[in-house]
């Protein structure tokens, strides 16, 4: 077995199971280290023991590499597969099989764990055709939000990656984006000029989540009326489980907010993260009645999180959301015609 592939699959499975990020980063770091060696050089380093003393290689990662070089499926990987299933589930014929893109993902540019290229490979692994890189905006300093200058730099990197065959014409297409904060006054946390250059704008409330219902409603409505907003991200801000504990949902006039989303052609995100499951089912039903579009997104902060699309698709299916009203089932050109038409 290819040792780099073995290490990356282990990291993916750990991330999917929401294990400690220190574990997954160790396997990804080891994959980066041995990626610089030819197969013959790597085998020689395993034989003479020098790989054990190489920076970035620990006991667990060394064992995986040695077993893979010997032609075996590493025991660590075999155990993970047995406990949690393969990295990519067999394709079916349900809503999940119709998803072509993900409009909400984070990289090491903000609070994600890996480079853009690694996220792109993982998104392609789970069958996506396009991926929006939507790192955080400046106000969210705790998440290393991007200033206009850093976002400008990222746009250049995306152009370069899309020009590379394996990430461009021969593979997944990377789209520019942002998850911008909806500030207290309802404005979006990035300059209008910068937002106008992006393919997709996701806007979310990250602060003062417990503000009074009327004020929260007005805050969200002002944001939705902004021409360049495309997606209302995790609209209630709730947490239902996970390492961060639980958090109650924000209160707002959902009928008014979803009516505005329908009027201004803003999609309501079905956030696939297990700890969010946002919106709740009853709000998905209200958004359906209002005539809203939807976007099934992972809010991925690590490559393994793209597996959460299965959960988001299942929730949409259970709530009777038609595929044609889910923008992430659309081909990329139709998606861009919608998102850039604001």
| Burial class of 92 by CB neighbour count within 10 A (0 to 12, 13 to 18, 19+) | exposed
pLDDT for 26 beyond 60:
yes
Q: Do the Cβ atoms of 252 and 217 come closer than 8 Å? A: yes
At 88 the pLDDT is 78
Structural domain including 272 reads: 95-339
Q: Do the Cβ atoms of 37 and 127 come closer than 8 Å? A: no
Q: Does some domain include residue 89?
A: no
Domain end, chosen from 50, 84, 118, is at 84
pLDDT for 125 beyond 70:
yes
Q: Quote the pTM value.
A: 0.93
Q: Does some domain include residue 151?
A: yes
pLDDT for 172 beyond 80:
yes
Q: Do the Cβ atoms of 147 and 196 come closer than 8 Å? A: no
pLDDT for 166 beyond 60:
no
At 241 the pLDDT is 93
pLDDT for 229 beyond 60:
yes
pLDDT for 85 beyond 90:
no
Q: Does some domain include residue 43?
A: yes
At 206 the pLDDT is 97
Are residues 277 and 196 part of one domain? yes
At 168 the pLDDT is 47
Are residues 255 and 211 part of one domain? yes
Mean pLDDT along residues 23-27: 95
Are residues 116 and 62 part of one domain? no
pLDDT for 169 beyond 90:
no
Angle at which helices 309-318 and 281-290 cross, to 10°: 60
Strand ranges (E), the chain: 101-102, 130-133, 173-181, 200-204, 231-232, 267-271, 294-297
- The DSSP-derived string for 181-199 is EB-TTS-BSS-HHHHTT-S
Q: Report the sign of the C-alpha dihedral through residues 10, 15, 16, 18, in that order.
A: positive
Q: Does some domain include residue 300?
A: yes
Are residues 115 and 65 part of one domain? no
pLDDT for 79 beyond 90:
yes
Residue 198: both structure tokens together: 């992006």
Residue 279: both structure tokens together: 């919106």
At 91 the pLDDT is 63
Q: Do the Cβ atoms of 77 and 9 come closer than 8 Å? A: yes
Q: Which residues pair with 101 in a beta bridge?
A: 130
At 87 the pLDDT is 81
**Total tally of structural domains belonging to the chain:** 2
Are residues 112 and 56 part of one domain? no
Are residues 166 and 47 part of one domain? no
Are residues 268 and 157 part of one domain? yes
pLDDT digits (tens, 9 = 90+) for 280-329: 999 999 999 999 999 999 999 999 999 999 999 999 999 999 999 999 99
Q: Does some domain include residue 90?
A: no
Domain end, chosen from 60, 84, 108, is at 84
At 59 the pLDDT is 96
Domain end, chosen from 84, 112, 131, is at 84
Are residues 127 and 73 part of one domain? no
pLDDT for 90 beyond 90:
no
Kindly report the CATH number assigned to the domain that includes residue 278.
Answer: 3.20.20.140
Q: Does some domain include residue 283?
A: yes
Local confidence band at 147 (pLDDT 50, 70, 90 cut-offs): very high
Local confidence band at 119 (pLDDT 50, 70, 90 cut-offs): very high
pLDDT digits (tens, 9 = 90+) for 173-207: 999 999 999 999 999 999 999 999 999 999 999 99
Are residues 270 and 124 part of one domain? yes
Are residues 110 and 64 part of one domain? no
Q: Do the Cβ atoms of 103 and 111 come closer than 8 Å? A: no
The answer for residues whose C-beta is within 8 angstroms of residue 219's C-beta and 6 or more apart is 182, 184, 185, 186, 205, 211
At 243 the pLDDT is 85
* Angle at 327 (CA atoms; ends 340, 107), nearest 5 degrees: 75
At 170 the pLDDT is 60
pLDDT for 130 beyond 80:
yes
Are residues 112 and 29 part of one domain? no
Beta-carbon-side half-sphere exposure of residue 59 (alpha carbons within 13 Å): 0
pLDDT digits (tens, 9 = 90+) for 259-270: 999 999 999 999
At 104 the pLDDT is 98
Are residues 308 and 183 part of one domain? yes
Place of tokens 């990197």: 157
């Amino acid at each position: 077995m290819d040792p780099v592939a073995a290490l990356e699959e282990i990291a993916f499975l750990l991330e999917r199971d929401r294990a400690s990020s220190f574990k997954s980063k160790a396997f990804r770091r080891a994959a980066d280290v041995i990626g610089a060696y030819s197969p013959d050089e790597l085998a020689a380093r395993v034989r003479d023991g020098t790989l054990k003393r190489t920076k970035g290689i620990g006991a667990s990662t060394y064992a995986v590499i040695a077993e893979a070089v010997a032609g075996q499926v590493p025991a660590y990987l075999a155990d993970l597969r047995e406990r949690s299933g393969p990295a990519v589930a067999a394709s079916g014929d349900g809503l999940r099989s119709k998803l072509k893109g993900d409009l909400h993902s984070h990289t090491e540019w903000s609070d994600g764990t890996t480079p853009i290229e690694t996220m792109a490979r993982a998104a392609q692994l789970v069958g996506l055709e396009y991926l929006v890189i939507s790192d955080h905006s400046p106000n969210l300093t705790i998440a290393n939000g991007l200033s206009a200058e850093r976002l400008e730099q990222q746009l250049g990197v995306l152009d370069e990656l899309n020009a590379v065959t394996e990430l461009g014409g021969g593979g997944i297409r990377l789209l520019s984006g942002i998850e911008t904060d909806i500030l207290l006054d309802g404005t979006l946390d990035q300059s209008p000029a910068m937002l106008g250059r992006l393919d997709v704008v996701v806007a979310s409330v990250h602060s003062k989540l417990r503000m009074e219902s009327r004020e929260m409603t007005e805050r969200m409505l002002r944001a939705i009326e902004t021409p360049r907003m495309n997606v209302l991200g995790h609209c209630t801000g709730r947490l239902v489980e996970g390492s961060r504990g639980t958090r109650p949902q924000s209160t707002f006039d959902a009928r008014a907010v979803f009516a505005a989303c329908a009027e201004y052609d803003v999609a309501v995100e079905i956030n696939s993260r297990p700890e969010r499951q946002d919106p709740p089912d009853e709000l998905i039903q209200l958004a359906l009645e209002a005539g809203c579009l939807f976007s099934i997104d992972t809010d991925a902060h690590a490559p393994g999180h793209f597996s959460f699309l299965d959960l988001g698709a299942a929730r949409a299916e259970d709530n009777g959301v038609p595929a044609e009203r889910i923008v992430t089932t659309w081909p990329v050109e139709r998606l861009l015609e919608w998102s850039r038409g604001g």
